[in-house]
Each structure stands twice: as C-alpha cells, then as structure tokens.
C-alpha cells in the first residue's frame, strides 16, 4: 500500500479574537507517524479537527495527494478517526461497532463479516466480538476504536489523545501496541497529545504547536537535541538557559562571556549576543583535574531522588540556578549545601533562538 | 447514610404518605367492592356497561393521540435544544417551562377563546375567506386533544432533552468520520440511543393523560367524556360511589400495569433517567 500524502497549507482559524490556527502548514505522508504536540489551547486539536473536516478553516487549503479536500464533509474524506473517549456506540456490540463503517459503505454481508474479523484479529480482540463496549476495559475499548477506524481502509488515521484516559502502565503498553500497529498497516498516522514523553517515544515526526502556530517540526531527536527556541527547549524535557556575549571566534567554535565565566561553544555564533541551552543530563560532576571545556562551581540547593538519577538544583555564581541530572550509581547522595564542580563539553550546549515561538 | 439518626429522617414524609395517600386509597378500594353490595359487581360493569366501555375507549384513544403527538413534536424541540448554543438552549428551556407556571385552568380557557365557534381561529379563517362556516374545533375529541397535547408538551420535552444531553456528541462525530451522512448518523446512532428517553417521556405523558380532568371538561363540553370526568360525575352528581371508586381503582391498576410492562421493556433505571 502506498501511503497517501496530506498537505495543509497556511491554515488559519479564528474564534473571536483568539487565533486557534495561525498560518499552519504541515505535510503528512509516506506512512509516517506524525504527532501534534502542544499545551492545551495550542491549536493541535483544532488542526486535527480541520483535517478531519469538523472544523472549517477561515483560510488556507487542504489537499490529499494534490486534490483539494477542504470543501468535503467529514464523511467524504475517508479518514479513520479515534476519539479521546473512544466514542464507541454503546447500543452496538464490538463486532457491530466495527462493521458500522462497512455497512454505511454498503459492503456485502460476507465481506463485512470477513473484514470485521480481520480488523478485530489485528488488535487481538477476535474473542470479544459479541460483547458490548461497556463490558470491556479501557484498553480493550481503545483497541475496538482502532479496529473500527482501520476496517474501512482509510486514507489516513487521525488520533485525538487516544491514550489520555488510560492509566500509566496501560498507556505505556498501548504506546508499543500503537507503534507496532502503525508498522503493520502502512498508513500515515496523525496523533494529537499533550504528553511530551508519549510524543518522543512514538513519533517519526513531532510538530510542536503553541498559540495556534506550528513552532517546530522534526524527528524527536532533532527537537530534543536542537530545539529551535526557548519554548521548544523548555517544553520538551528540562533545560538550563543563560545569556552570553561573544568574545572570540575560531575554526572549532567561539568563546563567550556569561556571568563572569569564559565559556566555550561549538558552532558559529548567530550574532554578538547568544542564548545558550543545556540539558541537565549533559552536566557532569567533576572530580580531580582535567575534564570538559567548560567548568564552573556551585552549591547544591535541593536534590530529589528519581530512581535512575538525582535531579539536583544548584546555585552557580553568575549563571544562577541550574539543574543537573546525576546518575544514582555514580556517587554518594548529594546533600544540601554541598559545594561541587560541574562541567560540560563545548558541543553539549546549543545556541537557540530567544523567542517563545508564538510571535513571527 | 444507613447508620445513626439519619435513618429516621424520612419518617415524617412516610407518615404523610400513609395517612394522606395509602389510607384513603385503601378506602377507595374497599368501597369499590362493598357499595352497593359486597362483591365484584362494580368491576363487572367494565365489560357489561356500554357507557363505561365508551368512556374507556375515548380515554384510550385521546391518550394515545396525545402521547404520540406530544412525543413527535417534543422530540423535535428536544433535539433542537440539544444542538443549540447554551444561550439559545436556556431561552428554549424557559419557553418550555413557562406554560408550566400558568395554571391548567387558565390555559384551557385560553384554548376555548381560540377554538370556539366565534373564537380567534375561526374568525381569522373566515375573515380571510378560507372557510364559509365556522369549523367545529372544540367540544369534540380534536379540541380535547389539542388542549392536552399543549399541556403535555413540557412533560414530553424535558425528559427527552435531558436524556439526549447525556448522549456523547463525539458519537455523532465518530459516525460521520466513518462515512455516515448527517441523516445516517442520526438514524443509526442518535435515534436508537435516544429511544429510552422517548419511552420514559411517553410513559410520563400517558400516565398524566389518563387522569386528566380540567382540559377534557372545558374543551370537551360534556360531549367528550374521559375517565376522570366520568368518575367525578359518578361520585359527585350521581352518588354512585361503587362505580366511581371501581373506575378509580381500575385506573390505578392500569397505570401500574403500564409501568410494569415498560419497566420490563426498557428497565426502570432508564425510565427514571438514571444511567
């Protein structure tokens, strides 16, 4: 199966004075798993609903394989959709729920039976075909919703926070299952979530939204390692930020002054002033001589235990409060008031754009 | 809740119910089998008396017409209320509730001024030249039905609207996302899911209609006799206590049977609106 290509071009949608979608362009195709990630009110659900046809954009265009679909009613778009609360029909059995889209399409009885069985087998629910939705667990209902959204061979599968109603353990196993299913059906998925971990774990591409704008799109690793701006860096995981002024430049990188420290950074400076971002897990605790290019001293303010690591807040002269992840296997527990030396490599920190991403 | 002093709290209400309701009711039952003589003679009238048969048939016919019309008209209103914006919905709710705050007597008289021979409807139609002589709009089953449907509409709309509001709007969206048109989504998803509300409203309207008194008296003008008016006639005018109390007992039994059958059909929980 060749996956269809959906293109959203410069979509705008306003509700009163609020821009729910502000000039959003997105391309989904090639059987990729694309996640729309953002805080509530960021426009991610509006974008999904615009793709599905339940929200009519004020301007912009939507095409599927080059053909415009913006004028089509939801039922004409042939997109599978999984809703937040699953939206299973409570008056129909599991099998009848899955058969619904086929009956609407006037598929013959024998073929319907066969395809419903295949769809239920795909999500390992063949044995529950004659139960009512109410009799199923949350995870099972979720899988019925998936089978129902896939049984009519849609052009695209849209998922609106489908895992948010599940408890954490189940959510993790459904993440794996959904990834696995995505690999088997060869469809492009558009997945909406506000959970950063979920987005990083599941997606081929993550589109980060904020205030109706698409802030950055890329693979999870790209977004995490090279966030475009302060919002992305702060939204995806934790980050330390500080400002600096460029002092000197050479072939390998440049040096800049920040809080009285002379620090080194790989790459080229974008201008005389830079905003630096550093992930807490890239900070090392230094013992003895030698070590990375950048070294500062600080005092531990708080330390919280997280199983695999300690999250330590420390006060660093000139740079202020910084957070560091210290592996728990490495040393005796950090304690308040302890003075430590920390450091990082010149290519561990990144220079980012000092904006929140919601202004052009 | 089932411990401490709380368990005694319903006692006054229970006492009131027993004294003001169950005691007189059991007397009604007693009279129906003892007046004028001991036995089931009064109940035999249900099958032997042509005038009682006529009253029962009229009552059943008007009740079915009223319930059907109130449900169909009410369903449309309830559906619109569910789909409307919150501000519009509140306005519609006030519109539905408003007639309930006006006494049935006043409303029935209002219908008399509209429907009588020289009433508003006939004058307008004749003034417009659409009819030559006044239409017989009241003192017949038509007039009684119109008045009763009007009175019953809120009782039909409110339970249906409350049930419909409990339905997840995502279900309709899901149906459309799977290829169903608006009409298909309505017919295959909304309509079947709204049926328990319709049945609940239907039972309510039927039960209220069965015992209706004021509207049939005023709009029927003595020519359309429903069972409540007939009972009152037996007891107050003809002093036939036996016949009157027998009919009252039969009416209660009929309502009980109706509730029993419907609870078997859809479950009492669905009827009472519990989920």
Say if residue A57 is in the same domain as residue A201. yes
B176 contacts in A (CB within 8 Å)?
Answer: 54, 73-75
Span between the terminal Cα atoms of chain A, in Å: 39
Q: Exposed (0-12), middle (13-18) or buried (19+): which is B109, by Cβ within 10 Å?
A: middle
- Tally the residues of chain B: 275
Is A56 inside a domain boundary?
yes
Q: What's the gap in Å between the CA of A79 and the closest CA on chain B? A: 7
Residues of chain B contacting A101 with CB distance shorter than 8 Å: 178-180
**For residues A350 and A227, what is the distance between their CA atoms, to the nearest angstrom?**
8
Query: Looking at the structure, do residues A143 and A172 belong to the same domain, yes or no?
Result: yes
Nearest CA in chain A to B188: A100
Cβ-count burial A209-239 (b if 16+ within 10 Å, e if not): bbbbbbbbbbebeebbeebbbbbbbebbbeb
Q: Partners of A122 in the beta sheet?
A: none
Q: For residues A83 and B92, what is the distance between their CA atoms, to the nearest angstrom? A: 30
Cβ-contact B113, B120 below 8 angstroms? yes
Question: Token pair of A314, please?
Answer: 């420390």
**Inter-chain residue contact A87 with B178, CB threshold 8 Å:** no
| A357 in a structural domain | no
Cβ-nearest to A75 among B168, B180, B192: B180
Rounded CA-CA distance A71/A55 in Å is 11
The whole-chain average pLDDT of chain B stands at: 89
What percentage of chain A has pLDDT greater than the value 90? 72
Q: What digits encode the pLDDT tens for the residues A180-210?
A: 999 998 899 999 999 998 999 999 999 999 9
Q: What predicted TM-score, i.e. pTM, was given to this entire model?
A: 0.80
* Same-domain check for residues A276 and A191: no
Q: Where is the domain boundary, A227, A245, A270?
A: A227
Q: Where are the alpha helices (DSSP H) in chain A?
A: 44-52, 94-104, 109-122, 138-150, 168-185, 196-202, 220-225, 230-235
A87–B193: do the CB atoms touch at under 8 Å?
A: no
Q: Domain end: A191, A207, A227, which one? A: A227
Q: Give how far Cα A340 sits from Cα of A242, A285, A301, A323, A335, Å.
A: 20, 7, 11, 13, 10
> Does A248 share its domain with A103?
no
- Report the C-alpha gap between B261 and B244 in whole angstroms: 26
| Stretch A76-96: mean pLDDT | 93
Sheet holding A33-37, edge to edge: A79-82, A156-160, A189-193, A33-37, A205-210, A213-218
- pLDDT value, residue A360: 39
Handedness of CA B96, B97, B98, B101 (dihedral sign): positive
pLDDT at B275: 41
A156 and A249 assigned to the same domain: no
Domain assignment present for residue A276? The answer is: yes
Of the candidates B178, B184, B193, the beta carbon closest to that of A90 is on B193
Whether A28 and A62 have beta carbons less than 8 Å apart is answered as no
Same domain, A301 and A320: yes
B191: contact with A, CB 8 A cutoff: no
ipTM for the predicted complex: 0.79
Given an 8 Å threshold on Cβ–Cβ distance, is A54 in contact with B173?
A: yes
In a domain, A359, yes or no: no
CA B266 – CA B275 distance, rounded (Å): 12
Residues of B in contact with A104 (CB under 8 A): 178-180, 184, 188
Residues A110 and A244 in one domain: no
Radius of gyration (C-alpha) of chain B in whole angstroms: 23
Q: What is the distance in angstroms between the Cα of B189 and the nearest Cα belonging to chain A?
A: 7
**A152: chain B residues, CB-CB within 8 Å:** 178-179
Nearest chain B Cα to A104, which residue? B180
Neighbours of A71 (CB within 10 A): 10
* Residues of the domain holding A247: 235-352
> Are residue A55 and residue A17 in the same domain, yes or no?
yes
Q: What is the 3-state secondary structure (H, E, C) of chain B?
A: CCCHHHHHCCHHHHHHHHHHHHHHHHHHHHHHHHCCCCCCHHHHHHHHCHHHHHHHHHHHHHHHHHHHHHHHHHHHHHHHHHHCCHHHHHHHHHHHHHHHHCCHHHHHHHHHHHHCCCCHHHHHHHHCCCCCCCCCCCCCHHHHHHHHHHHHHHHHHHHHHHHHHCCCHHHHHHHHHCCCCHHHHHHHHHHHHHHHHHHHHHHHHHHHHHCCCHHHHHHHCCCCCCHHHHHHHHHHHCCCHHHHHHHHHHHHHHHHHHHHHHHHHHCHHHHCCCC
For chain A, the average pLDDT equals 91
Does A292 reside within a domain? yes
Does one domain contain both A222 and A334? no
Whether residue A89 is predicted with pLDDT greater than 50 in this model: the reply is yes
A241 and A212, same domain (yes or no): no
pLDDT at A332: 75
Mean pLDDT is lowest, of A43-57, A228-242, B71-85, for: A228-242
Between B264 and B211, where is the model more confident?
B211
Nearest Cα residue to A5 out of A37, A47, A34, A45: A34
Q: Among A84, A85, A101, select the one facing B178 at the smallest CB separation.
A: A101
Total domain count for chain A? 2
Domain-embedded: residue A245: yes
First to last CA, chain B: 22
Residues B81-111: tens digit of each pLDDT: 999 999 999 999 999 998 888 888 899 899 9
Q: Is A360 domain-assigned? A: no
Q: Could you tell me the CATH number of the domain that includes residue A331? A: 2.40.50.100
Please indicate, yes or no, whether residues A106 and A168 belong to a single structural domain of this protein. Answer: yes
Of the residues A192, A210, A227, which one is the last residue of a structural domain?
A227
Residue B274 has pLDDT above 50, yes or no: no
> In order of start, what are the domains of chain B with their CATH numbers?
66-272 (1.10.3720.10)
- Band (A354; pLDDT cuts 50, 70, 90): confident
- DSSP code for A127: G
Token representation of residue A121: 């087998």
Residue A72 domain flag: yes
Chain-chain contact of A89 with B177 (C-beta, under 8 angstroms)? no
Instruction: Looking at the structure, tell me whether residues A40 and A86 fall in a common domain.
Output: yes
CATH number at residue A77: 3.40.50.300
Strand partners, A286: A341
- Tell me the C-alpha distance between A198 and A69, whole Å: 30
Q: What is the pLDDT of residues B110-146, one digit of tens each?
A: 999 999 988 899 999 999 988 888 888 888 999 999 9
List CB contacts of A146: < 8 A, sequence separation 6 or more. A82, A123, A162, A178, A181
């Amino acid at each position: 199966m060749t996956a269809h290509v959906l293109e959203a071009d410069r979509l705008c949608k306003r509700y009163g004075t609020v821009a729910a979608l502000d000039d959003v362009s997105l391309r989904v195709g090639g059987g990729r798993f694309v996640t729309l990630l953002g805080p509530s009110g960021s426009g991610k659900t509006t974008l999904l609903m615009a793709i599905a046809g339940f929200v009519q954009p004020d301007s912009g265009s939507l095409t599927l394989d080059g053909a415009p679909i913006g004028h089509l009613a939801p039922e004409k778009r042939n997109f599978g959709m999984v809703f937040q609360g699953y939206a299973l029909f409570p008056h129909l059995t599991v099998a009848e729920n899955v058969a619904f889209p086929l009956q609407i399409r006037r598929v013959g009885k024998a073929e319907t039976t066969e395809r419903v069985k295949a769809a239920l087998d795909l999500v390992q629910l063949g044995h529950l075909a004659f139960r009512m939705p109410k009799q199923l667990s949350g995870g099972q209902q979720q899988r019925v919703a998936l089978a129902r959204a896939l049984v009519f061979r849609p052009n695209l599968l849209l998922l609106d926070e489908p895992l948010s109603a599940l408890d954490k353990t189940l959510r993790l196993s459904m993440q794996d299952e959904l990834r696995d299913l995505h690999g088997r059906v060869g469809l492009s998925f558009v997945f909406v979530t506000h959970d950063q971990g979920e987005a990083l774990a599941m997606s081929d591409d993550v589109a980060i939204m904020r205030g109706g704008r698409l802030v950055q799109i890329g693979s999870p690793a790209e977004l995490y390692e090279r966030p475009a701006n302060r919002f992305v860096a702060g939204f995806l995981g934790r980050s330390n930020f500080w400002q600096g002024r460029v002092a000197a430049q050479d072939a390998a990188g440049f040096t800049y002054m920040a809080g009285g420290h002379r620090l080194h950074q790989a790459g080229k400076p974008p201008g005389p002033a830079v905003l630096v971002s550093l992930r807490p897990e890239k900070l090392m605790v230094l013992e003895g001589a030698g070590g990375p290019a950048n070294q500062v001293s600080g005092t531990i303010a708080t330390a919280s235990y997280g199983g695999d690591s300690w999250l330590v807040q420390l006060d660093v002269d000139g740079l202020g409060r910084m957070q560091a992840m210290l592996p728990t296997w490495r040393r005796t527990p950090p304690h308040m008031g302890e003075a430590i030396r920390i450091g990082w490599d010149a290519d561990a920190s990144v220079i980012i754009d000092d904006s929140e991403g919601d202004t052009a | 809740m089932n411990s401490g002093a709380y368990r005694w709290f319903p006692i006054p209400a229970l006492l009131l119910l027993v004294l003001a309701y169950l005691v007189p009711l059991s007397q009604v039952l007693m009279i129906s089998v003892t007046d004028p003589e001991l036995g089931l003679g009064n109940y035999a009238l249900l099958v032997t008396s042509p005038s009682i048969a006529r009253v029962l048939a009229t009552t059943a016919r008007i009740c079915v017409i009223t319930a059907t019309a109130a449900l169909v008209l009410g369903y449309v209103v309830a559906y619109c209320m569910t789909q409307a914006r919150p501000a519009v919905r509140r306005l519609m709710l006030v519109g539905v509730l408003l007639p309930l705050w006006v006494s049935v007597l006043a409303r029935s008289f209002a219908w008399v001024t509209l429907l009588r021979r020289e009433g508003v409807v006939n004058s307008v139609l004749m003034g417009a030249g659409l009819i030559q002589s006044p239409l017989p709009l009241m003192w017949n089953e038509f007039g009684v039905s119109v008045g009763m449907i009007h009175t019953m509409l809120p009782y039909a709309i409110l339970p249906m609207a409350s049930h419909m509001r409990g339905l997840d709007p995502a279900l309709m969206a899901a149906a459309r996302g799977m290829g169903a048109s608006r009409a298909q989504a309505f017919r295959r998803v909304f309509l079947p899911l709204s049926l328990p509300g319709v049945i609940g409203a239907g039972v309510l309207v039927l039960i209220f209609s069965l015992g209706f008194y004021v509207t049939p008296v005023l709009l029927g003008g003595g020519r359309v006799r429903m069972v409540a008016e007939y009972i009152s006639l037996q007891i107050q005018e003809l002093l036939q206590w036996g016949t009157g109390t027998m009919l009252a007992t039969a009416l209660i039994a009929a309502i009980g049977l109706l509730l029993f059958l419907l609870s078997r059909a859809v479950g009492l929980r669905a009827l009472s609106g519990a989920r």
